[in-house]
Amino acid sequence: MNILFIGDIVAKAGRKVVARMISQLQEEVELDFIIANGENATHGKGLSHDNYEELIDAGIDCITLGNHFAARKDLLEYIDGCDNLIRPYNLHYSLPGLGSVLIEAYSGVKIRVTSLLGRSYINLNATNPFEALKEIINDDDANIHIVDFHAEATGEKMALAYAFDGQISALIGTHTHVQTCDSRILPGGTAYISDVGMCGPYNGILGVNKDDVIKKTWTGYPTSFSIDDSDKEAVFNAVILSFDENYKCFAIKPIYEIINLEEV
Ligand SMILES: [Fe+2]
Ligand SMILES: [Fe+2]
């Protein structure tokens, strides 16, 4: 079986390219389950309920979030009604939503999806992701366990992956929006990539308007980032995880495509 994991979906261009690539990939390879990070799906920050439904309609089975999960306050009101939308697990218990879910996929395969937040260079009150993952896998009867580790530092991502190598099916890094070329199966059998990358406007910086980022980094002038809706190209970043009949992941294949949005 194959699981498609799609990196951070950024704004309308990201949603558009994801819908197009899911249908294209489904013609080329059998996709049994699709996970996507949706923390930037609504105009670059957060996820509205309409956009949540749009992504589910596009064929996504489970949506993970990240440090921007609460950028739109309405998510805090609707997340509890969505059993396939997860916020980072290692945040304060009083926040609404779950951080790890067990979903029964086709022919009864139990797939656990977990969202964890890193602590290096991420300004949120996250608890220890190692202790959190240890707690989740204790007594778990999932056949497959995919962890979205939303973190900035590659070293922190590798440390969590090696610490749980063989105990989880895959650790997929998200958040930096740039795909790394280090996808591999670790010695214990866990599939790994430091960052899967993002889906969204191609001619910007990490999906947002490049002029805003240049102004802010050059001058320090307080600038809020906008989305350049005139960009005619979008990037699609994902990995395909392939599993054998014993639910062991034997391959992780990165996908990096530039799509002309005028042809979508
Ligand atoms: Fe992101
Ligand atoms: Fe993020």
* Mean pLDDT, residues 172-196: 98
Q: Please list all protein residues whose beta carbon sits less than 5 angstroms from ligand 1, which is an ion.
A: 8, 39-40
Cα-to-centroid distance, 208 and ligand 2 (Å) = 13
- 9 strand-pairing partners: 199
pLDDT tier, 177 (very low <50, low <70, confident <90, very high otherwise) = very high
Ligand nearest to the CA of 149: 2
* Mean pLDDT, residues 143-154: 98
pLDDT at 210 over 80: yes
Ligand nearest to the CA of 199: 1
Cα-to-centroid distance, 28 and ligand 2 (Å) = 30
Q: What is the pLDDT of residue 78?
A: 97
Cα-to-centroid distance, 24 and ligand 2 (Å) = 27
Cα-to-centroid distance, 126 and ligand 2 (Å) = 13
Q: What is the pLDDT of residue 124?
A: 81
pLDDT tier, 38 (very low <50, low <70, confident <90, very high otherwise) = very high
Q: What is the pLDDT of residue 104?
A: 94
With pLDDT > 70 as the criterion, what percentage of the chain qualifies?
A: 100
Q: How many residues are given for the chain?
A: 264
Cα-to-centroid distance, 6 and ligand 2 (Å) = 14
Q: What is the pLDDT of residue 106?
A: 80
Cα-to-centroid distance, 108 and ligand 2 (Å) = 32
Q: How far apart are CA 171 and CA 162, in angstroms?
A: 10
CATH superfamily of 2-263: Metallo-dependent phosphatases (3.60.21.10)
> What's the half-sphere exposure (Cβ side, CA atoms, 13 Å) at 232?
3
CB atoms within 10 A of CB 71: 17
Query: Could you list the active site residues?
Result: 68
Ligand nearest to the CA of 68: 2
Q: What is the pLDDT of residue 139?
A: 85
Asked if 212 contacts 226 with a C-beta cutoff of 8 angstroms, the reply is: yes
Judged by DSSP in three states, 136 sits in helix
Structure-token match 């797939």, residue found: 111
CB atoms within 10 A of CB 259: 20
Nearest to 171 by CA among 154, 62, 57: 154
For the chain, the average pLDDT equals 96
Q: What is the pLDDT of residue 130?
A: 98
pLDDT in tens, 211-234: 999 999 999 999 999 999 999 999
pLDDT at 168 over 90: yes
Considering only residues 46 and 122, tell me which one the structure prediction assigns the higher pLDDT: 46
Ligand nearest to the CA of 206: 1
pLDDT in tens, 86-128: 999 999 999 999 999 999 998 899 999 999 999 999 878 899 9
Phi, psi of 225 (to 5 degrees): -80, 135
pLDDT tier, 59 (very low <50, low <70, confident <90, very high otherwise) = very high
Tell me which DSSP letter residue 21 carries. H
Cα-to-centroid distance, 65 and ligand 2 (Å) = 8
Confidence (pTM)? 0.97
Cα-to-centroid distance, 258 and ligand 2 (Å) = 21
Ligand nearest to the CA of 207: 1
* Mean pLDDT, residues 47-76: 96
* Mean pLDDT, residues 54-69: 97
Q: How far apart are CA 191 and CA 56, in angstroms?
A: 25
Q: What is the pLDDT of residue 107?
A: 81
